[in-house]
């Protein structure tokens, strides 16, 4: 076999390198390419002979599936008809990146890629109701995948049982003469295999540790809700406490049930001084509702809090202005909690706080309908 090893890490000849690799894919060939973790070897999934050849070269058992590699994270919707909210958060925060995600697909025929290419391609993409997807954090790999002319399945560029290769020299030790094109992108950046995560109906499990550990995955999959008022001593801490109560009702549990689903509820204030307790009136009104905010301590609005939040709920238009001014990219994630502004009860009697809490709860029950856990 004539095997081309093509330089793939300089501007000179870059487009020609891509073209040669894509032409090899189109002929049913096997292409080795770099990712941020290890080198991969891939084939067009819509070419059964190419997939069979990839399996023989890898010496992989027939029942062991390959991972679909995609060049754009939004391409997940072509392969998975229904992506859970938690998986969607991991995609948004972790892709492109060193995470392989296994998605459950109960109705393979509903997947747009199957409707587009026909049921014959399904066996190369899906296995026992699952499809594994990876969107690598390497611009060259994503360019290749986007221009391949069809879906690409791939695995590490080594014979089964051998170490995953981190450079072309390691690739050629086991695959020389067995593939059509080798794109030499130099040493891989991370040199550690991707983390493999499998989602189910309510959460996920880690099948293979990699770049990300359990704590990192919890951060990446968390649902972060942020409530913003002025001083962070009454309206926003009451809203955060009520939010936890409303969401717990939805999942049929207590606060620990929300934590198990990766839900984090926070509050802050646009003019808050750090460390102030909730007002005595707010504490009393929440106690009437079986909620405890006595341990609350105020914190100021910060870019970090805004950046972490999936949904930001504010009390007034001026709060919205402050959030968006601090981080313009938050515009689409930030909205008023209630249809009308929530007036500050500070300085008023306890009953004014009670009225405020009732308004907050009404707003929450409407807004949280839009929040997927």
pLDDT > 70 in the chain, percent: 99
Return d(Cα 344, Cα 198) in angstroms, integer: 45
| Catalytic residue (choose from 135, 229, 334, 356) | 229
**pTM, rounded to two decimals:** 0.84
What are the tens digits of pLDDT across the range 173-183? 999 999 999 99
| Strand pairing class (152-156; 130-134) | unpaired
Number of CB atoms found within 10 A of residue 253's CB: 14
Match domain 222-370 to its CATH number in 3.40.50.2300, 3.40.50.300, 1.10.357.10, 3.40.50.740.
3.40.50.2300
Return d(Cα 123, Cα 211) in angstroms, integer: 29
Return d(Cα 81, Cα 133) in angstroms, integer: 13
Q: Give me the CATH code for the 4-212 domain, please.
A: 3.90.870.10
What does each of the 373 residues of the chain score in pLDDT, given as a tens digit?
A: 546 888 887 677 899 999 999 999 999 999 999 999 999 999 999 999 999 999 999 999 888 899 999 999 999 999 999 999 899 999 999 999 999 999 999 999 999 999 999 999 999 999 999 999 999 999 999 999 999 999 999 999 999 999 999 999 999 999 999 999 999 999 999 988 999 999 987 789 999 999 999 889 998 999 999 999 999 999 999 999 999 999 999 887 776 778 777 899 999 999 999 999 999 999 999 999 999 999 999 999 999 999 989 999 999 999 999 999 999 999 999 999 999 999 999 999 999 999 999 999 999 999 999 898 8
Return d(Cα 193, Cα 210) in angstroms, integer: 6
- Nearest CA to 234 among 349, 147, 142? 349
Return d(Cα 211, Cα 139) in angstroms, integer: 19
Q: What's the chain's Rg over C-alpha atoms?
A: 25
Crossing angle between the packed helical segments 280-288 and 350-367, to the nearest 10 degrees: 60
Q: Is 229 a known active-site residue?
A: yes
Q: Is 334 a known active-site residue?
A: no
Give yes or no for a cis peptide into 47 (omega within 30° of 0). no
Return d(Cα 128, Cα 313) in angstroms, integer: 41
Beta-bridge mates of residue 131: 103
Return d(Cα 154, Cα 55) in angstroms, integer: 10
What are the tens digits of pLDDT across the range 287-314? 999 999 999 999 999 999 999 899 999 9
Return d(Cα 372, Cα 68) in angstroms, integer: 26
**360 close to 238: Cβ distance less than 8 angstroms:** yes
The structure tokens 């870019």 sit at 303
Return d(Cα 337, Cα 317) in angstroms, integer: 10
| Catalytic residue (choose from 166, 235, 266, 367) | 235
- Nearest CA to 282 among 267, 301, 304? 267
- Nearest CA to 189 among 155, 173, 166, 162? 166
Q: Is 208 a known active-site residue?
A: no
Domain ranges across the chain: 4-212, 222-370
The structure tokens 């717990």 sit at 248
Residue 100 half-sphere exposure, CB side, CA atoms within 13 Å? 26
């Amino acid at each position: 076999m004539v095997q081309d090893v093509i330089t793939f890490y300089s501007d000179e000849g870059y487009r020609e390198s891509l073209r040669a690799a894509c032409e090899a894919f189109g002929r049913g060939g096997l292409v080795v390419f770099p990712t941020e973790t290890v080198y991969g070897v891939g084939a067009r999934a819509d070419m059964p002979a190419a997939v069979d050849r990839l399996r023989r070269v890898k010496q992989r058992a027939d029942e062991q599936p390959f991972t679909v590699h995609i060049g754009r994270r939004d391409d997940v919707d072509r392969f998975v008809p229904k992506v859970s909210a938690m998986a969607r958060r991991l995609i948004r925060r972790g892709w492109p990146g060193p995470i392989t995600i296994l998605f459950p697909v109960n109705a393979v025929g509903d997947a747009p890629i199957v409707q587009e290419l026909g049921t014959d391609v399904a066996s190369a993409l899906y296995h026992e109701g699952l499809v594994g997807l990876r969107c690598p954090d390497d611009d060259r790999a994503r360019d290749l995948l986007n221009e391949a002319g069809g879906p690409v399945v791939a695995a590490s560029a080594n014979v089964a049982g051998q170490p995953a290769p981190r450079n072309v020299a390691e690739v050629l030790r086991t695959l020389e003469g067995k593939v059509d094109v080798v794109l030499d992108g130099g040493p891989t950046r991370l040199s550690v295999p991707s983390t493999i995560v499998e989602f189910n109906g309510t959460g996920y499990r880690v099948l293979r540790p990699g770049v990300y550990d359990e704590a990192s995955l919890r951060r990446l999959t968390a649902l972060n809700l942020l409530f913003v008022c002025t001083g962070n001593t009454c309206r926003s801490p009451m809203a955060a406490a009520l939010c936890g109560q409303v969401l717990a009702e939805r999942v049929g549990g207590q606060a620990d049930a929300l934590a198990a689903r990766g839900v984090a509820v926070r509050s802050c204030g646009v003019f808050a001084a750090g460390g102030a307790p909730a007002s005595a009136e707010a504490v009393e009104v929440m106690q009437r509702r079986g909620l405890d905010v006595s341990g609350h301590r105020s914190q100021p609005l910060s870019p970090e809090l805004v950046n972490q939040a999936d949904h930001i709920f504010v009390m007034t238009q001026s709060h919205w202005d402050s959030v968006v001014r601090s981080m313009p990219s938050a515009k689409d994630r930030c909205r008023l909690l209630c249809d009308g502004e929530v007036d500050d009860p500070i300085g008023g009697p306890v009953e004014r706080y009670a009225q405020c809490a009732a308004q907050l709860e009404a707003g929450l029950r409407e807004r949280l309908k839009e929040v997927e856990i």
